[in-house]
Amino acid sequence: MRLLEYINKNAIFLDIEVHDKNEAISEIVESMAKAHLIQNAEEFKKEVYERERLGSTGIGKGIAIPHARTRAVNRLVIAFARLKEGVDFGAEDDDPVRLIFLLGTPVDTVGDYLKILAKLSRLLKEDLLRKRLLKAKTGKEVLELLEEAEGQNC
């Protein structure tokens, strides 16, 4: 299972300007809807917000992985967003979040969903990858960085 099966250049949003985590989630979901990656932006947003209320998806070191199982997608989809300025996601380390991987998965595909969450968490522990994602200039470069990191961690 490879990340690039679920994320493409139309799902990469760089230097988004937002003021808080709800605005970040909303902006990413709306961008996903414009790219035709999800069917129902309002439903998906609601489900991501509900999941976030259960506990923060801020995993530390400036990263958040908000996610939801939803009927708003036909297949697992990942969006990557880099925020212009960090926002509070309620992470344990209190670091502001600038790198967000937002996942949507159909209600009935739990196994793949958990594997992708685990893989992302593992890859993003690497300081070098995080630093390089913060400096990437294009969506293509983001994809190349993720592919390289995934290849090194197979």
Pairing state between β 58-60 and 63-64: antiparallel
Residue 40 is classified by DSSP as -
Evaluate whether 77 touches 103 at the Cβ level (below 8 Å): yes
Evaluate whether 143 touches 9 at the Cβ level (below 8 Å): yes
Helices (H), 96-138: 110-123, 127-135
**Active site (annotated) includes residue 36:** no
Evaluate whether 87 touches 18 at the Cβ level (below 8 Å): yes
Which listed residue (45, 67, 69, 98) is catalytic?
Answer: 67
The residues annotated with a catalytic role in the active site are 67
